Structure 1
Amino acid sequence: MGISDEKVVAVIMVGGPTKGTRFRPLSLNIPKPLFPLAGQPMVHHPISACKRIPNLAQIYLVGFYEEREFAMYVSSISTELRVPVRYLREDKPHGSAGGLYNFRDLIMEDNPSHIFLLNCDVCCSFPLPEMLEAHKRYGGMGTILVIKVSAESASEFGELVADPVTNELLHYTEKPETFVSDRINCGVYVFTPDIFTAIQGVSSQRKDRANLRRLSSFEALQSATRNPPSDFVRLDQDILTPFAGKKKLYTYETMDFWEQIKTPGKSLKCSGLYLAQFRFTSPNLLASGDGTKSATIIGDVNIHPSAKVHPSAKIGPNVSISANARIGAGVRLISCIILDGVEIMENAVVFHAIVGWKSSIGKWSRVQAEGDHKAKLGITILGEAVTVEDEVVVTNSIVLPHKTLNVSVQDEILL
């Protein structure tokens, strides 16, 4: 098989309903990976980035969600991108590396020379073809996408030290208590199939250790909580840390944007990052606001073709409006995600907010927040089918589904 025929497969880890509690109330309706950012499901951004990888044979989504939750999306995206996308459901958590190993036979079906592994809750420009080129030059087992962050925020992630000349990964530690480095792991990798041998090695060592220690039933109970099962293998602690400094792993640094999408506040920020990226990758997805019959558009805005926006409305920057939304006269929208079927009536204002499916905001009302993406109440979130009546102000609050607000609220979580 010549170099030009080498096939590549991509695996995107989408997690499952046990996680994502920080994403409530939005994840009550929809699996977090399908929540729209910049008008596209979260998982759509890494999937469409994979499409740019040369000789891509397959994309697999691996997670614990019920298959029916992804069935429609997977079939429509496969048709749209003309690349087979399959959802593989894990029967139980296997860890980030164990999940990959669990489906190794399927992943190796096309006999790929390289395997990409991406986390779904990461927002970046996904420089995958460039990573692959660098990885082939390094000649190791794997290459990790890394980015430089502030020394204060580094400890929230996996910190690493790489050789400044060869880019070899020399040291890796997950969320260290003391500062190690301002370079962090972005959760995007490319491996050769040797990764499966490495994961198998970790599993075998665990089994051997378990067999050596034939424990009393009390000890076994104690150790089960402490020692993970042999088929539970974490990529960071079990692979990256022990293989660092062995000329097996290398780094590729991105100078672009990068964020982890753990909370609704971060999803609003990431929606804006993707909208800004559309200027270069998909300008057709941005609203232009040309012509006398259309609303005033400021900055990067995505409006679904089925949404109705009054020409006197003023929209942007960083706004995405989903299907069948109705935006009334004189409405002002800034830095917000408006979901399917929302109605916003005359002269209402929404900024730094996510407005849930089928919600309605009355005339002269305001749904707003300070826009601190890190604070728990840094943005205002309305769950599904929330009604905000006329002339009501909702500030820095989270409102669970099916509530009606007829008085103003501030800094509250309304259950």
Structure 2
Amino acid sequence: MKAMILAAGKGERMRPLTLHIPKPLVPAAGKPLIEYHLEALARAGFTEVVINHAWLGQQIEDHLGDGSRFGLRLRYSPEGEPLETGGGIFKALPLLGDAPFVLVNGDIWTDYDFSALQAPLQGLAHLVLVDNPGHHGRGDFRLLGEQVADGDDAPGTLTFSGISVLDPALFDACQPGAFKLAPLLRKAMAAGQVSGEHYQGHWVDVGTLERLADVERLIGERA
């Protein structure tokens, strides 16, 4: 099973750190954020990872290389123009193949065990949901048993963690260019094709310098 890390964002809310280095290479406790994902994927048994990039993306390739030092084979999907989440994944599909793959946002930090995602996929997507953080109190989706539904501001709505398993068939009707992933997921939810789980371990959306400090505190507590 392959995995993809989304690493094309500019990280504008983390300036000045991201003026000269791409967000995935911002260090947390002395280690670039993306390396935590690569190490966790390797521990979980993954061997092939695709990374998309745009802003200062060559730095990511230069730093990570072929991935051999992580026990991985890395392949890259450079984007000359911003393609958003859905468009970036669609562009990378030739590198990912025809089987379901794990998708991880490059700008999160978590202790989630990615080996849990290697079970056969039922439907078109499986989403890992987390408790709503303070900066995203309304959440995204609801978990109804093992199925995911649109949140609609209902009680019990959870936040999409940025960790998922996707079937390439989710993108069958798509065309090259910039588009978001969320509408595809919501369409699949309406058809009962999205399963999910509620993860209650450590998870941080590292979107600001303050949240980066939160990650460093959590890493320090685990040392």
Q: Which residue matches 1:261?
A: 206
State the Cα distance separating 1:15 from its structure 2 match.
2.0
Answering whether residue 123 of structure 2 is matched by residue 140 of structure 1, we say yes
- Check if 1:87 corresponds to 2:33: no
Distance in 2, Cα, partners of 1:275 & 1:151: 22
Please say if residues 132 and 158 of structure 2, whose CA atoms lie closer than 8 Å, have aligned partners that are also in contact.
yes
1:71 lines up with 2:48 in the alignment: no
Report the counterpart of residue 147 of structure 2 in structure 1.
Answer: 168
Following TM superposition, where does structure 1 have runs of at least 4 consecutive aligned residues deviating by more than 6 angstroms? none
Deviation at 1:53, TM superposition (A): 3.2
**Which residue identity lines up with residue 11 of structure 1 in the other structure?**
M
- Is the 1:151–1:179 contact (alpha carbons within 8 Å) kept by the matching residues of 2? no
Bigger-Rg structure (1/2):
1
Structure 1 residue 126: deviation in Å? 2.7
Deviations 1:18-53 (A, max 9, x none): x32211111223222111112210111111111133
| Structure 2 partner of 1:59 | 49
Shift in CA distance, 105/191, structure 1 to aligned 2, threshold 3 Å: same
**1:9 maps to 2:30:** no
Please, which runs of 5 or more residues in structure 2 have no aligned partner?
Answer: none
Name which structure has the greater RCO, CA cutoff 8 Å, separation 6+. Answer: 2
- 1:261–1:125 Cα change, 3 Å: same
Gaps of 5+ in 1: 1-7, 204-229, 280-415
1:246 counterpart = 2:197 = no
The separation in 1 between residues aligned to 2:87 and 2:57, in whole angstroms, is 20
Partners in 2 of 1:234 and 1:180 — Cα distance?
Answer: 25
- Contact residue 74 and residue 86 of structure 1 kept, 8 A: no
Number of residues paired by the alignment? 223
Report the Cα distance in structure 2 between the residues aligned to 1:181 and 1:191, rounded to whole angstroms: 24
Q: Which residue of 1 aligns with 2:215?
A: 270
Letter in 2 for 1:258: W
Correspondence for 2:15: 24
CA separation of 1:103/1:27 partners in 2, compared to 1, >3 Å: closer, same or farther?
same
After superposition, the Cα gap between the structure-2 partners of 1:186 and 1:67, relative to the gap in structure 1 and judged at 3 Å, is closer
Aligned residue type for 1:130: A
- State the TM-score, normalizing by the size of structure 2: 0.88
Matched-pair contact (CA < 8 Å) for 1:65–1:89: no
Amino acid across the alignment from 2:92 = F
Distance 2:207 2:118 in 1: 27
Identity rate, percent = 18
Cα distance between partner residues in 2 of 1:69 and 1:181: 41
Greater per-residue helix proportion: 2
Distance 1:180 1:97, change over 3 A: farther
C-alpha distance after superposition, 1:181-224 (max 9, x if no partner): 43110011112332332xxx144xxxxxxxxxxxxxxxxxxxxx
In 2, distance between residues paired with 1:181 and 1:86?
38
Is the contact made by 1:33 and 1:41 (CA closer than 8 Å) also made in structure 2?
A: yes
By how many angstroms is 1:263 displaced?
0.9
Whole-angstrom CA distance in 1 between matches of 2:134 and 2:106:
25
Aligned to 1:44: 35
- Structure 2 counterpart of 1:234: 180
Alignment-derived partner of residue 170 in structure 2: 195
For residues 66-96 of structure 1, give each alpha carbon's deviation from its aligned partner in whole angstroms, at most 9, with x where no partner exists.
Answer: 4431233122x71211211123211212221
Specify which of 111, 129, 138 is matched with residue 125 of structure 1: 111
Q: Is the 8 A contact 1:10 1:115 kept in 2?
A: yes
Q: Look up the equivalent residue of 1:122 and give its one-letter code.
A: I
